[in-house]
Structure 1
Amino acid sequence: MTPLATTAVLVGLVALATALGLLWRWQNGRLRTAAGTEIVAPGDIHGSLGGHATLLQFSSELCTPCRATHRVLESLAAESSGVAHVELDITRFPDLTDRFGILQTPTTLILDRDGAVRARIGGAARAADVRAHLDLLPTA
């Protein structure tokens, strides 16, 4: 391979890696709405659902962003009536991890009062995004 071709391949690989990294960074922490066809029952999480909504956080033991997300979601649950925060360790709930296709931690599912998944956040959750989505959920 000529030096020019080698340089072109290296520049191309760097450009591709940069583009993929920027795409990942742009999507990380973004809230994506869901159709509500997937349901989480209280028995699935060994607990109860909130009267208005549940913030279901999938975490792992060595995940630093999980701790920050825990603080954000716990604070939102404390300030919002009828909102519960449930944190699950992916190693203890492999069936739910597989069922919801959890590929990164933290991943947060926003459930309505019936346990239907209304939104999903892969990565650290932003308080403003979660709060805005909670306001969109039906109250009665």
Structure 2
Amino acid sequence: MPVSLALMIVAGVLAVAVAAGLIWRALDGRRRPVRGAPTLLDELDADAARAVLLLFSTQTCARCPQVRRMLHSVASALVGIEATEIDLTHRADLAARHRILTTPTTFIVTPVGTVAARFTGAPRRVDIEAALAELPAPQEVR
């Protein structure tokens, strides 16, 4: 094989790898469409007035601790928002039921248990806050 052909093949493989990495990086942590509005009442114990930030993690997830801290920070700063976590290490049934292929995966769940937003990967704080801003305001208790 000529050296020029080998160099072209290496350059082509490198270009494909770089393009795939850039696409993956661009999509990581982005909001995904919610299909079929699955309900999660069985998995939640929270009594949130407005929403629950639900983090699906595993024991080996390297980015889950940073996402957990960020979600708890958002929840403590906003009224009616709670943050909770489900470890999928021993709950593979939940991963299959909710089509979770990677961790961290974050759901924003309404008080009636429907998923209002889904984030795959490590979401940015501003994206979480923007999704929460789209939810209806909490009802005042009289």
TM-score strictly above 0.5: yes
Q: Which residue of 2 aligns with 1:44?
A: 43
Equivalent position amino acid for 2:40 in 1: V
Equivalent position amino acid for 1:31 in 2: R
Q: Any idea what SS the aligned residue of 1:64 has? A: coil
Aligned mates of 2:38, 2:77 — CA distance in 1: 27
In structure 2, the gaps of 5 or more residues are: none
Within the candidate set 103, 120, 123, 1:122 is matched to: 120
User: How far is the alpha carbon of 1:63 from its aligned partner?
Assistant: 2.1
User: How far is the alpha carbon of 1:3 from its aligned partner?
Assistant: 2.4
Superposition map of 1:1-140 within 5 A: 1-35=1-35, 37-41=37-41, 43-45=42-44, 47-139=45-137, 140=139
Aligned mates of 1:36, 1:82 — CA distance in 2: 25
User: How far is the alpha carbon of 1:113 from its aligned partner?
Assistant: 1.9
Amino-acid identity (%) = 36
Root mean square deviation of aligned Cα = 1.6
Q: Any idea what SS the aligned residue of 1:128 has? A: helix
Maintained 8 Å contact 1:35/1:117: no
Aligned mates of 2:40, 2:105 — CA distance in 1: 15
Q: Any idea what SS the aligned residue of 2:90 has? A: coil
Maintained 8 Å contact 1:53/1:112: yes
Equivalent position amino acid for 1:14 in 2: L
User: How far is the alpha carbon of 1:49 from its aligned partner?
Assistant: 4.6
User: How far is the alpha carbon of 1:34 from its aligned partner?
Assistant: 2.2
Stretches of 4+ moved more than 6 A in 1? none
Aligned mates of 2:37, 2:86 — CA distance in 1: 21
Equivalent position amino acid for 1:135 in 2: A
Q: How many residues align?
A: 138
User: How far is the alpha carbon of 1:36 from its aligned partner?
Assistant: 5.8
Aligned mates of 1:93, 1:76 — CA distance in 2: 26
Aligned mates of 2:97, 2:35 — CA distance in 1: 16
In structure 1, the gaps of 5 or more residues are: none
Q: Deviations over 1:79-120 (max 9, x none)?
A: 111111110111122111111221211110111221111211
Aligned mates of 1:136, 1:90 — CA distance in 2: 28
